[in-house]
Amino acid sequence: MGAVTFLPRWIPLFFLSNRKLPDWFVEWLDLIPAAILSALLIPALVTAGDPRRLILWRPELLVAVPTFLFALKTKSLGGTVVVGMLLFWLVGKV
């Protein structure tokens, strides 16, 4: 398991570490974490049930939007976690 985890990360690092990558490629690579995070979060925020159905006004989404705006404004990871937890707690009480 260690080799399966290590090799896919090490091989590109080993072969590309001495090369200058094109700027457009580096910019594209910077977008990958946001795309993966969105792909993981959006279904959990806007769908529910079995089978899954679209519900736009879920409490999770109502909490995620102001938490995201707080994160954009402050760039504080700790503050964002606290605000998200507080808002989720408040929405759960209503």
| 2-11 pLDDT per residue, tens | 999 999 999 9
For residue 66, cis peptide bond before it (omega within 30 degrees of 0): no
**pTM, rounded to two decimals:** 0.63
- Percent composition of the chain: helix, strand, coil (DSSP 3-state, to 5): 75, 5, 20
Reading phi first (left if > 0) and then psi (alpha if -120 to 50, else beta), residue 56 is in alpha
List b or e across 43-65, with b for residues whose CB sees 16 or more CB atoms inside 10 angstroms: eebbeeeeeeeeeeebeeebbbe
Q: Are 60 and 45 in contact (CB under 8 A)?
A: yes
Residue 17 reports pLDDT greater than 80: yes
pLDDT digit string, tens, across residues 18-76 = 889 899 999 999 999 999 999 999 998 999 888 989 988 888 889 999 999 999 999 99
Average pLDDT over residues 74-80: 95
